[in-house]
A and B are shown apart, each in its own frame.
Chain A
Amino acid sequence: MGSYILKRLVSAIPVLLGITVIVFLIMAMIPGDPATAILGSYATPENVEKINRDLGLDKPLVQRYFIWLGNMLTGDFGRSFSLNRPVLDEVLERFNATLILAGTSFVLCAVLGVLAGVVSAARQYGLADKLITFVVLIGISVPAFFLGMMMILLFAVNLRWLPVSGMYAIYGGGDLADLLRHLVMPALALAAVATGVVARLSRSAMLEVLRQDYIRTARAKGVPERRVIMGHALRVAMVSIIPVLGIQAGFVLSGAVYIEIVFQWPGVGRMLVDAILTRDILLVQGGVVFVAACYVLFNIAVDVAQSLLDPRIKT
């Protein structure tokens, strides 16, 4: 097992390098020069040249890439001009908030989705199945940002159960209970689509597995039906559900961008959108690479979980 984890980590190195290359190339395509964007109306030729030199933009592309990469490896992601602080500091602080939000939503979507899928499959064409299918259909059809806005209207404005936005109350908040109160709506809104997708997939994976010969064997042995479904069938279904959970984690992270904006959540997604609109390239680059790298590591964890579940995967 240890060697398998090591192997997966080593194989992630080219993926991580690839990510930096892709991000760097995309950013290098940006027309116009960032110096003008930074300086705005102060863009005299001397100033532009100075900025270009400071940022290393006068060097050839390949060299610039390696300088950027080398700096990142030593923890220097550059400085955000719009916030006037190191990119890494900002990203780490923001990512923490995103992790709380996206992590909660991911756990919600994994647990609720799989559960709903299993119940749906076990009661195929029954009332529970129809109900779940209907709710799931709505869940995957409604845009997360719209759902969030409607939740604000209903639960915060009309019913006044929950705070409208933010991560902590401005006055007197800051404890866990306060965080949880702020977390409920964004986490649910963010989890809705992913839960729907996971539930659908779990249902069809379970239906597929329940038709297999070894399920018949289990029944022929006299294994109780509950165990046939929750043990024999779910275990095999998880083999195809887990990779989708990995992909859904990416969708949850993606959806977090919208949710963070709707709920004023101080996360990395909102930071990125602001950075794009202000053309703060180093912040965009740093943020994208950092989050993507975390996602790659997460997917390695998913693969390891998969190999623990399925002995047929060579470790």
Chain B
Amino acid sequence: MSAFLKLLFRNRLAAMGAVVLGAILLLVLVTPLLPLPDPNVTDTSQRFLRPFEAAGHLLGTDHLGRDLLARLLYGTRLSLAVGFAAAVIAAFFGSAIGIVAGYFGRRTDNIIMRGVDMLMAFPYILLALAIVAALGPGLLNALIAVAAVNIPFFARNIRGITVGLAAREFVDAAKLSGKGHLRIILTEVLPNVLPVIVIAMSTTVGWMILETAGLSFLGLGSQPPVADLGSMLGEARAALITAPHTSVVPGLMIFLIVMSINLLGDGVRDALDPRLKSGALSRPRSMTRVDRKGPVREAAQKGLLDLQALETQFHVGARVYRAVGGVDLHVKKGECLGIIGESGSGKSVTALSVMGLVASPPGVITAGAVRYDGHDLLSSGYREMRQRRGENVAYIFQDPLATLHPLYKVEDQLAEAIQSHHRVSDGEARERSLELLRAVRIPNPESRLKNYPHEMSGGMRQRVGIAMALANDPDVIIADEPTTALDVTVQAQILALLDDLRRERGLAIVFITHDFGVVAQLCDRVAVMYAGRIVEEGPTKAVLDAPAHPYTKRLIACVPELGGGQRELAAIPGLPPSVDDLPPGCAFAPRCHKARDACAQGEIPLDGTPPRAVRCLYPEEAV
């Protein structure tokens, strides 16, 4: 709770809203104690006094000579009370309906949501007017009407959330723990829905105050002589031109209340929504921010694509995650380089850094260089980077359903890849697209061109992804776990395809994976990453046959191989370190059985006789 409040008030606008709303609330709470004239006593001789015109009538008087300040404060009391009451009632019934519909699903859901849709088929005021017409004008009836027309909104909103929750595995687990439906709804679903209800309420209270004020404005809410803010405005309208202050005073009050509630509501939403907490709802820029402290030293060109001392970090709040902590890599023309590591090792971030595709914020490239054919891409800026993306260096990503655009046809996505770099006619682009689909061996390429991604299988989608990468005949392809989301039989086909293409076209491939089998079959050289750094590098066969780093050796031992029979598997105790809190020295030392004191002190260089290298003081093999 205190964490929530801290988060809430760190948001300056929300704090401002809270202060204004707090002041108004305080004022209306003490109103009966203030020395104010009776708000309902008329005195026609004192009509339409201007503000500050007469003593005792600070804000002047209305058309019947009643004190505006008194009426304003009592009216505010009433408006706030009615608005909050309507919000609570609507939230309670709406959420209850939404949870029941969302949790039970099927018929229950169907019937309830049909009814809700029916109510939402009315523009809300028609329903409110009809209810008020039936019940008769009056503030309580206006409250009922406003609450009733808002129930469907809550029901729909909460149902959507509940449907998602009901399908979550922890609900299944609760069922298996012996919980009944009521218990699950109250103890499993409700705690997860509650923040959403609070958010929905805090963002709609203002709206409900507006609506009740509206009904009163129409003369259907509070009845004379009692006034809420809406009816004050309604009564003042006739004298809008001659005595504008009688309109301005209640109007500004409504505006102040609703604005402060909206500010506070947004703050509550931001503080309760976990996605916003981590700053994840930031828009990634078109290119990763490059913020290098100091110049990059010159280095001899080693391959077509050279990474030199590359460092990429994520800055989240005060924390710095050193996802890539100084990586040197190169890949030559026609060569396949594998980068292998477990999740969090920084292999994907390394790959995305090459073309500035790391989401930024929070990603920042803080040091190093990415040289394509000797030219540093990171110093060139967005315009040049865009021209090289896809043209010189292309990507294939992991999950082809998420990485292909869902609303464009295959044909359009392929043509766009070409036309972003080359001025070709649509017909020509289509011809090229067809060729590309043939090149990746998609059966019936003509008809596939017209497909949307969701109409294809995972394997076919990944072939499209590969075709798109090939669109501009790039020299380097970076494949980021391209087969991880696929079934093994499909994976085998995709790997074979990539291998063929690479030989046919002389492509350089950087292949990111966590699978030693894949590396062994496809890659010429391999780099092993751990906690953001390369710990071992060398020709694939040499590294796999005689791993030099204890991590590599033990990781290979962990992988079960087919044909080994039922057995105890080797494991590495402990967990990889978090990259925002790396130990000094070797990051693997805390898990390493060979570690000595020296391992935890100072920088350990990546050393060896090319082409092999290892970052270890006590390697398994001398390299």
B516 within 8 A of A: no
A26 touches B405 (CB 8 A): no
A27 within 8 A of B: yes
Residue of A nearest to B465 (CB): A217
Q: Once bound together, how far apart are the Cα atoms of A293 and B237, in whole Å?
A: 32
A213 touches B122 (CB 8 A): no
Residue of B nearest to A291 (CB): B126
A295 touches B122 (CB 8 A): yes
Q: Once bound together, how far apart are the Cα atoms of A29 and B120, in whole Å?
A: 21
A19 touches B259 (CB 8 A): no
Residues of B near A22 (CB, < 8 A) are 118-119, 122, 127, 130
A23 within 8 A of B: yes
Known: A146-B247, A232-B405. A254 touches B394 (CB 8 A): no
Report how many residues on chain B are interfacial, defined by Cβ distance under 8 Å: 84
A141 touches B206 (CB 8 A): yes
Q: Once bound together, how far apart are the Cα atoms of A163 and B256, in whole Å?
A: 29
Q: Once bound together, how far apart are the Cα atoms of A218 and B420, in whole Å?
A: 10
Of the listed residues A27, A221, A253, A258, the one surrounded by the most CB atoms of chain B closer than 10 A to its CB is A221
B240 within 8 A of A: yes
A146 touches B259 (CB 8 A): no
Residue of A nearest to B130 (CB): A26
Known: A15-B117, A22-B118, A257-B125. A141 touches B255 (CB 8 A): yes
Within 8 A of B (CB), among A203-221: 204, 206-208, 210-221
Residues of A near B130 (CB, < 8 A) are 22-23, 26-27, 284, 288
Q: Once bound together, how far apart are the Cα atoms of A275 and B452, in whole Å?
A: 53
A69 within 8 A of B: no
A153 within 8 A of B: yes
Within 8 A of B (CB), among A237-275: 239, 247, 249-251, 253-255, 257-258, 261-262, 269, 272-273, 275
B336 within 8 A of A: no
Within 8 A of A (CB), among B97-131: 114-115, 117-127, 129-131
Residue of B nearest to A12 (CB): B121
Residue of B nearest to A21 (CB): B118
Residues of B near A55 (CB, < 8 A) are none
A257 touches B262 (CB 8 A): no
Known: A142-B255, A149-B240. A309 touches B121 (CB 8 A): no
A145 within 8 A of B: yes
Within 8 A of B (CB), among A98-124: 121-122, 124
B133 touches A309 (CB 8 A): no
Stretch at the interface among A46-54, A78-86, A169-177, A223-231: A223-231
A214 touches B233 (CB 8 A): no
B214 touches A143 (CB 8 A): yes
Q: How many of chain A's residues touch chain B, expressed as a range?
A: 35 or more
The smallest beta-carbon distance between B14 and chain A, in angstroms, is: 12
B66 within 8 A of A: no
B210 within 8 A of A: yes
Q: Once bound together, how far apart are the Cα atoms of A122 and B287, in whole Å?
A: 13
A235 touches B407 (CB 8 A): yes
Known: A143-B213, A149-B247, A251-B123. A222 touches B421 (CB 8 A): yes
A56 within 8 A of B: no
Q: Once bound together, how far apart are the Cα atoms of A224 and B403, in whole Å?
A: 17
The smallest beta-carbon distance between B365 and chain A, in angstroms, is: 15
Within 8 A of A (CB), among B241-286: 241, 244, 247-248, 251, 254-255, 258-259, 262-263, 280-284, 286
A18 touches B121 (CB 8 A): yes
Within 8 A of A (CB), among B514-537: none
The smallest beta-carbon distance between A97 and chain B, in angstroms, is: 16
Contact with A along B287-329 (1 / 0, CB 8 A): 1000000000000000000000000000000000000000000
Subset of 12 A-B contacts with CB under 8 Å = A140-B206, A141-B255, A141-B258, A142-B259, A144-B214, A153-B241, A213-B397, A222-B391, A253-B125, A254-B124, A284-B129, A296-B121
User: What 5 additional pairs, Cβ within 8 angstroms, besides A29-B135, A217-B395, A292-B123?
Assistant: A22-B122, A27-B130, A219-B286, A288-B126, A292-B122
Closest 10 CB pairs of A and B: A254-B125, A146-B251, A141-B259, A222-B390, A222-B389, A253-B123, A250-B123, A18-B118, A220-B395, A213-B402
